[in-house]
Structure 1
Amino acid sequence: MPKFRFETTASGQTTAFEEELASADMASPRAIEKARAAIVEDPGSEQSGSITRVYDEAGYLVATVNFSDLLPVNPDAASDGISDAPIEEPGVMRSG
């Protein structure tokens, strides 16, 4: 299985980890899952500017998840403030 590198930047610090996934199609849902878990784990921390990027083994950007992507558009849509709506794939872009 291919490896993917997840890089999360929040409050000026970047954390990274690698994970094997069946395909690139699984990268965005996994990044969303990890971002939601971080919010639930530490709801008081400043995460409003956080961003998670996922790269494939060749260094191509395959997914990007912003903190704002997890928030509902309508505040009454979700009681916990975390949206369950699927995030649209950003497409494949070459990393810088």
Structure 2
Amino acid sequence: MFEKFTADKFLNKSVDPTEKKNLCKALEMQILEELDRCVRPAMMKIIQDLNVQGHRFVQEGEGDLGDVQFHEKDECGNGFLVALDVIVTVGSVSAKWRRPG
């Protein structure tokens, strides 16, 4: 599944920057597709379990990869939202970069 994302392609300084950026975007999508395949069914199960407890959550649209929303509303339109938002970021890091904190 991830065979085309070798370390050499990411770390080789002779690789064109545009090609490297495209590779990063492709890896982001590949990871997001895999996570969505695993996480979305778990989220659906959680919503089913909540609905058994008396909630009335319904899904809002089909959602994008890594993004699904459920809402329950009363007759006045007030209610609650449960959402899943998965963010995947792939990119270069400078040797001088340090995680804040």
Regarding TM over 0.5, the answer is: no
- Of Structure 1 and Structure 2, the greater helix share is in 2
Bigger RCO (CA 8 Å, 6+ sep): 1
Calculate the TM-score normalised by the size of structure 1.
0.29
Q: TM-score, normalised by structure 2?
A: 0.28
